[in-house]
Amino acid sequence: MRILQLSKHFPYPLKDGYSIAVSYIAKSLIDNGCAVELLTMNTTKHFLDLATLPKNFNGYAKIHTVEVDNRITSFGAFKNLFSKESFILSRFITDGFAEKLAAVLTNGNFDIVQLESVQLAPYIPVIRQHSTAKIAMRAHNVEFEIWERQIETTSFFPKKWYLQSQLTPFKKFEIEQLKNYDSLVAITDKDLTYFKNLGFSGKGISVPVGIDLKKYQSQSPVLSEILTFGFIGSLDWMPNQQGVKWFLEEVWPTVIDNNPTAKFYIAGRHAPDWLTSQTHQNVIIEGEVASAIKFIKTHPIMVVPLFSGSGIRVKILEGMALNRVIITTKLGMEGIDSKHRKEILVADTREGFLKEIDYCFENKKSLNKIGLEARQFIENNFDNLIQ
């Protein structure tokens, strides 16, 4: 089977959940005998110097790239207020990518074109014009749901108003596109059911993100390590910013009062100014790190305070695969059917997070067991080789 995979940014390096999800499913398809080509935007936000790409990356038959300027500017955001298209979507619509897509389709004979996110749905007419391939949407999340949850938790009225003005046309577009997919591959059963309730009537399946466990070797027990806390994620993604800001302001001061030697390390690309200039005690901003796996290994407790977003949090899967103890919200656990205080720790409020952090300091032997159970859970449910 010949598959053309379309990506909204280059799925390398494997530092964010999207890149891991795109890369690992392609590798699985290739390992199972499919010939897969990649056509990806090389965006300003996630620009990759192609000279740094490993030779024979993923085993793709061919890799095609198009440079796309998708920077968010004040002028662009203002100008978009007078457009019928949402800025969420329009930053990914370019003539250059459409022309390259048409050329690749004309020169290839593909059975399936796999879209990795709704931001690529505007190119469906190009695919229909130049190919008879079936179109599969791989929905990493319900995109508009992320924005709805973000708006719910935004108190600054001008920002809230602007986000709502962008969400309305975007939500309409995402729902209308459901009729244009031949098949839909959701990340979770919950998302698949939601899409069906919104009107999708084609062939649908849920395929969770798989983890290449060879890259996540089981670690030494948490019990033998100093209890430092870590957060890693894209720091220009609003749900991550919101969660980190809440944790620093609402939770961390009390943690320090109770445990003055505790340290909290924060890693991720594009840290905003308010975060790099923060002055909270024993908080270290590492910014973008060379290896997410190395960072996760360094800190036995991983904090994931998410209150908006949808889909599976790949960083949680990575942490569990490395025997880390994860403290996250019920929302953060979506698509990860693990049990509280067996394979993961769950909290949704300030008091809840403080309770679980106190539990970590007071029950080191239990942490060792939770870390081992977390690894076993990933082996049983998210091994890329058995998806």
For residue range 186-212, what is the model confidence (pLDDT) as tens digits? 988 888 999 999 999 999 998 888 888
Overall pTM > 0.85: no
Q: What is the mean pLDDT of residues 143-150?
A: 78
Token reading at 387:
């998806």
Residues 71 and 33 occupy one common structural domain: yes
Cα separation, 234 vs 288, in Å, equals 9
Residues 220 and 190 occupy one common structural domain: no
- With cut-offs at 50, 70 and 90, classify the pLDDT of residue 61: very high
Measure the CA dihedral 297/303/308/314, to 10°. Answer: 20
**Beta strands at 345-346 and 2-7: parallel, antiparallel or unpaired:** unpaired
Of 162, 183, 207, the residue at which a domain comes to its end is 207
Token reading at 239:
């749900």
Between 76 and 143, the more confident residue is: 143
Q: Answer for the pair 24, 212: CB distance below 8 angstroms, yes or no.
A: yes
Of 377, 224, 228, the C-alpha closest to 301 is 228
Residues 196 and 226 occupy one common structural domain: no
Q: Which amino acid is at 108?
A: G
Cα separation, 14 vs 215, in Å, equals 11
Q: Residue 328 CA to chain centroid, in angstroms?
A: 15
Cα separation, 55 vs 308, in Å, equals 37
Between 271 and 225, the more confident residue is: 271
**Beta strands at 112-116 and 2-7: parallel, antiparallel or unpaired:** parallel
Cα separation, 283 vs 304, in Å, equals 15
Residues 86 and 183 occupy one common structural domain: yes
What pLDDT score does 22 carry?
Answer: 93
Between 312 and 219, the more confident residue is: 312
Residues 195 and 226 occupy one common structural domain: no
Q: What is the DSSP string of 317-351?
A: HHHHHTTPEEEE-TTTTTT----BTTTBEE--SHH
Of 207, 241, 276, the residue at which a domain comes to its end is 207
What pLDDT score does 159 carry?
Answer: 78
Q: Residue 86 CA to chain centroid, in angstroms?
A: 21
Cα separation, 332 vs 184, in Å, equals 23
- With cut-offs at 50, 70 and 90, classify the pLDDT of residue 164: confident
- With cut-offs at 50, 70 and 90, classify the pLDDT of residue 386: low
Cα separation, 13 vs 27, in Å, equals 15
- With cut-offs at 50, 70 and 90, classify the pLDDT of residue 387: very low
Cβ atoms within 10 Å, residue 298: 17
Between 359 and 84, the more confident residue is: 359
Residues 187 and 268 occupy one common structural domain: no
Of 169, 191, 207, the residue at which a domain comes to its end is 207
Residues 163 and 240 occupy one common structural domain: no
Task: Please state the domain count of the chain.
Answer: 2
Cα separation, 189 vs 187, in Å, equals 7
In DSSP terms, which residues pair with 35 in a beta bridge?
2
Helix 143-152 × helix 238-246 angle, to 10°: 40
Cβ atoms within 10 Å, residue 132: 10
Residues 200 and 300 occupy one common structural domain: no
Q: What is the chain's mean pLDDT, rounded? A: 89
Residues 190 and 326 occupy one common structural domain: no
Range of the domain at 319: 214-386
Cβ atoms within 10 Å, residue 335: 22
Is residue 338 predicted with pLDDT exceeding 90?
yes
Is residue 312 predicted with pLDDT exceeding 70?
yes
Highest-confidence segment of 16-25, 165-174, 254-263 = 254-263
Residues 202 and 241 occupy one common structural domain: no
Residues 223 and 188 occupy one common structural domain: no
CATH number of the domain to which 47 belongs: 3.40.50.2000
- With cut-offs at 50, 70 and 90, classify the pLDDT of residue 147: confident
Based on its alpha-carbon atoms, the radius of gyration of the chain, rounded to whole angstroms, reads 21
Between 45 and 226, the more confident residue is: 45
| Contacts for 362 with CB less than 8 Å, ≥ 6 apart | none
Q: What is the mean pLDDT of residues 67-77?
A: 74
Q: What is the mean pLDDT of residues 296-310?
A: 88
Between 368 and 66, the more confident residue is: 66
Q: Answer for the pair 368, 222: CB distance below 8 angstroms, yes or no.
A: yes
Q: Is the dihedral of CA 245, 249, 255, 259 positive or negative?
A: positive
Is residue 79 predicted with pLDDT exceeding 80?
no
Residues 233 and 176 occupy one common structural domain: no
Between 269 and 153, the more confident residue is: 269
What pLDDT score does 277 carry?
Answer: 93
Least confident of 103-107, 152-156, 262-266: 152-156
